Amino acid sequence: MTAIAPPVAARRTARARADRRKQGWVRRTPLLPALVFTIIVTQLPFLLTLYYSLQSWSLVRPGSEHFVGFANYVDVFQDSQFRTTALNTVIMTVGVVLIAMVLGVALALLLDRKFLGRGVVRTLLITPFLVMPVAGALVWKTVMLDPTFGIVNFILRPFGIGHFNWVGSLPLGSVMIEMIWQWTPFMMLLVLAGLQSQPTDILEAASTDGARPLQIFRELTLPHLRRYIELGIVLGAIYVVNEFDAIYMMTQGGPGISSANLPFYIYQRAFLGFQVGQAAAMGVVVVVATIIIATFALRLIFTSFSGTEQAA
């Protein structure tokens, strides 16, 4: 039986399609190493965590693991300590992010003005963000906030607060102060980028239209800054929720769990209590909460900032 040769046109499209597919793979190859590496190193652990969360497992008794379904989750939500640390996490995140953002906006406005040595001041202001978090926490705990020998109490002595035990009496607050110090530059840089991206002729137009500086700020600058502030709050929240270093160095979560946040509590359960199943379940809960915040971040990054905003 003779094979019927397909007509020329069909042959050509078939070849074109094969070419395009080959082109597609040529384009995709540079992508793959990074993609595959990331998938293996980041996604597998999460899947395993999900698996562990359904097990009852203690690291001190190897071989004891067995499937318990959602029992861990039930325990987690009934755990009062989980609720306390969850609340701490919320307080810490909301407090640090909002205060750092307010300070960040103020500092960005300051750095937007011209004055002598502005570049140096900017460099000084971004330094807290560059300081190794554990080093920063260590320095704040000892050199700054120590009740007897810390410089903060020395400065406050004329105001009568000379011997306050910051880290002892105000553990969550102290950690928050350190974190606000570290995160304000981050907010400042984002807002500053926003301020500097505002086209000057719009501000000039407002000036000739009779607007005073405060009016210009309220009517034009703030709306323009909105998406930068939103991005700062959402990204900041994601990072702050996961904060670990400062708590480890300053208070170890204590006294008790008064300054522990969820990541630290999970760490305690896993590495100090060796209760893998429960820790895994808590981890999953934190992941779900983060996903919700992260969706906002992603939406902002992809829509708000992918177009260009011009002075119309």
Partner 1 sequence: MTSADITTAATVGSATAAPRRVVAKRKKQRNSITWGIVGWVVGIIFFFPVLWMVLTSFKTEAQAYTNTPHLFFTPTLSQYRTVFDSGLWPYVANSAFATIVSTLLVLLLAVPCAFALSLRPVRKTRDVLFFFISTKMLPVVAAIIPIYIAARDLHMLDNIFTLVILYTAMNLPIAVWMMRSFFLEVPHELLEAAEMDGAPLRRTMREVILPVVAPGIAATALICCIFSWNEFFFAVNLTATQAATVPVFLVGFISSEGLYFAQLAAAATVATLPVILAGWVAQRYLVRGLSFGAIK
Partner 2 sequence: MAEVTYDSATCIYPGADRPAVDALQLAINDGEFVVMVGPSGCGKTTALRMLAGLEEIDDGSIRIDGKDMVGVPSRDRDIAMVFQNYALYPSKTVGENMGFALKMQGVPKDERGRRVREAAKLLDLEPMLDRKPRNLSGGQRQRVAMGRAIVREPKVFCMDEPLSNLDAQLRVQTRTQIAELQRRLQVTTVYVTHDQVEAMTMGERVAVMRAGQLQQFASPTELYDRPANVFVAGFIGSPAMNRFEATADSDGIHIGDAVIQPSDAQRQAVQGHSKLVAGIRPEHLSLGDGPLTMEVSLVEDLGSDSYVYGHLAGDAESSMIVRSGRVHPRPGEAVKVAVDTAHLHLFDAASGLRLGD
Q: Which does 41 bind (CB under 5 to 8 A by kind): partner 2, partner 1, none?
A: partner 1
138 binds partner 1 (CB under 8 A): yes
- Structure tokens belonging to residue 53: 């969360």
Q: With binding defined as CB under 8 A, does residue 61 bind partner 1?
A: no
Asked whether position 104 contacts partner 1 by CB under 8 A, the answer is no
Q: Work out how close the CB of 149 gets to partner 1 at its nearest, in angstroms, rounded to a whole number.
A: 6
Fill in the DSSP letter of residue 168: H
Q: What are the two backbone dihedrals, phi and then psi, of residue 162, each rounded to the nearest 5 degrees?
A: -65, -20
**Residue among 48 and 222 whose Cβ is closer to partner 1:** 48
184 binds, among partner 1, partner 2, none (CB under 5 to 8 A by kind): partner 1
Residue with smaller CB distance to partner 2, 29 or 310: 310
Footprint of partner 2 (CB under 8 A) = 199, 201-202, 204-212, 215, 219-220, 223-224, 309-312
Considering CB distances under 5 to 8 angstroms, the limit depending on partner class, which of partner 1, partner 2, none binds residue 44? partner 1
H or E stretch covering 72: helix 71-78
**Token reading at 105:** 């906006």
Return the amino acid letter for 61. R
Alpha helices per DSSP H over 132-252: 133-139, 151-156, 166-169, 171-196, 200-208, 213-216, 222-241, 245-250
Beta carbon nearer to partner 1, 165 or 290: 290
- The neighbour count for residue 203, using CB atoms within 10 Å, is 16
**Which CB, 12 or 17, lies closer to partner 1?**
17
Phi/psi for 275 (5° steps) reads -95, 85
The two counts, helices (H) then strands (E), for the chain are 16, 2
**Taking the complex as a whole, how short is the minimal distance between the CB of residue 109 and partner 1, in angstroms?**
10
Q: Per CB under 8 A, which region of 73-81, 185-193, 204-212, 215-223 contacts partner 1?
A: 185-193
